[in-house]
């Protein structure tokens, strides 16, 4: 199974290098191991994350694309859909099939037709429009809902920190 996963990841890497999505750079950390990738995601324009450059890591299972990768930001993030330890929580990264909690439809969850590019674009979209109904970080969701100005100020500090600028 790892052989077909490797072929798929190599093809996706080639596609990402030939036609990279705007504001995203991604690829294997080491060309000896295509199952560990790093990504740099630029904060989306016209959002409180605009201008930031946020490093993340993707870890692919050996049965990819049957199972989704795991994604984690390697920097401080404060967002309703990012756990305090940096793990990303969005539907596209949830195992295929029915949601045991009944929140997501199976069509929203992982399927083998997804790709690294679709994951990364979904994360950019998530940064722009958090889903505070299904929060991985309850504190961030509460601030997002009740104090948008406060949330935006916290996000602006993270942007400055991501660029190595004083907060």
Give yes or no for a contact between 71 and 57, defined as CB atoms under 8 angstroms apart.
yes
156-163 long-range contacts (CB < 8 A, ≥24 apart) are: 156/48, 158/49, 158/52, 158/75, 158/76, 158/77, 158/78, 159/43, 159/48, 159/49, 159/50, 159/51, 159/52, 161/75, 161/76, 162/43, 162/52, 162/53, 162/54, 162/75, 163/51, 163/52, 163/53
In this structure, the strands spanning 33-42 and 24-30 are: antiparallel
Name the 3-class secondary structure at 75: coil
Which of 48, 77, 88, 89 is labelled catalytic?
A: 89
75 is catalytic: no
Looking at the annotation, which residues are catalytic?
Answer: 89
């Amino acid at each position: 199974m790892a052989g077909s996963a490797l072929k798929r990841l190599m093809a996706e890497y080639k596609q990402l290098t030939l036609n990279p999505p705007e504001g995203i750079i991604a690829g294997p950390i080491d060309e000896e191991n295509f199952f560990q990738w790093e990504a740099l995601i630029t904060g989306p324009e016209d959002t409180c994350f605009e201008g930031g450059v946020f490093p993340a890591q993707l870890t692919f299972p050996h049965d990819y694309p049957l199972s989704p990768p795991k994604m984690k930001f390697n920097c401080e993030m404060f967002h309703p859909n990012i756990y305090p330890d940096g793990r990303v929580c969005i539907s596209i990264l949830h195992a295929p099939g029915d949601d045991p909690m009944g929140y997501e439809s199976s069509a929203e969850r992982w399927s083998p037709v997804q790709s690294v590019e679709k994951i990364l674009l979904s994360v950019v979209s998530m940064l722009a429009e958090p889903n505070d109904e299904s929060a991985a970080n309850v504190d961030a969701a509460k601030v997002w809902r009740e104090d948008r100005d406060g949330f935006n100020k916290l996000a602006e500090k993270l942007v400055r920190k991501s660029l190595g600028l004083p907060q």
